[in-house]
A = this chain, B = another copy of it.
């Protein structure tokens, strides 16, 4: 049978086609690479590499062996990683959710990254409606959710902010304010603000849809929307204005909608949330993967 060091030496040399670099990559001397390959060839009974003093190349038998052994090596690694993940608790199914498209991209990228290093996991990424808040977590439909802060529910654990974005106001293109380079919160006075309701708690709604401007002027109330598509169609139809994230302009460009920066509003912050009771190594690993995805 093939020893571990023989397998690795053969595969590395088959890729590098250079004894010196092979030894360097494996942390052994070139002499050792030469001896190992030589012994292997003697055992196989035929040369695996055709080498002059200047060049190294695979023989047909060597090439075939390389093609056969490469997947073996991969499987060996994933099998071990899977077992080690299970040992560390990083295994099983993780149902993740997001409400905004850029959140979806972030979660998908993080899921791919995590899966690459932890092949034993199963990660699903689902979209949830704007008005569901953190209800999917409480209902046990999701294990972890990317949501807009603030989150104050006591039974939930929140991760750090992983996405930050400037606030903008979505206006009908024909609106008198639509031409402004930027707006202030005071400009909201009297405008009909499109909101969401549903499962979002009171403090969250107050934070994202204030009832008064800083100076105390009342902000109007427009229609209630449950999804971004609804918000967009309300704005396009002139039924109101909606607060949003600057990225929205890239993800939901509409000819009938103007995205105007809101100068004095605090930035939007997104982060991960999960049920404290359902905390797990897999959740922590996923949160870490999302965190290292940003920059």
Contact = CB atoms under 8 A, between A and B. Distances in A.
Contacts of A2: 4, 76, 80
A20 B79 CA distance: 26
A65 B4 CA distance: 18
Q: Determine chain A's interface SS by DSSP, over half rule.
A: helix
A82 interface: yes
Nearest to A66: B79
Contacts of A8: 1
Interface residues of A, number: 31
Interface stretch (A83-91, A229-237, A250-258, A272-280): A83-91
Nearest to A79: B68
How many chain copies does the complex carry? 2
Contact of A61 (B43, B75, B86): B86
A91 to B, nearest CB: 9
A79 to B, nearest CB: 3
A46 B76 contact: no
B4 A44 contact: no
Contact of A75 (B46, B68, B88): B68
A1 B68 contact: no
Contact of A1 (B1, B48, B76): B76
A68 B82 contact: yes
Interface string A144-179: 000000000000000000000000000000000000
Interface in A31-84: 43-46, 48, 60-61, 64-65, 68-69, 71-72, 75-80, 82-84
Nearest to A69: B79
A61 B87 contact: yes
Interface in A114-159: 120
Interface of A: 1-4, 8, 43-46, 48, 60-61, 64-65, 68-69, 71-72, 75-80, 82-84, 86-88, 120
Given A1-B8, A69-B79, 20 more contacts: A1-B76, A2-B80, A4-B4, A44-B83, A44-B84, A44-B87, A46-B83, A46-B86, A61-B83, A61-B86, A64-B86, A64-B120, A65-B79, A65-B80, A65-B82, A65-B83, A68-B82, A69-B76, A72-B75, A72-B79
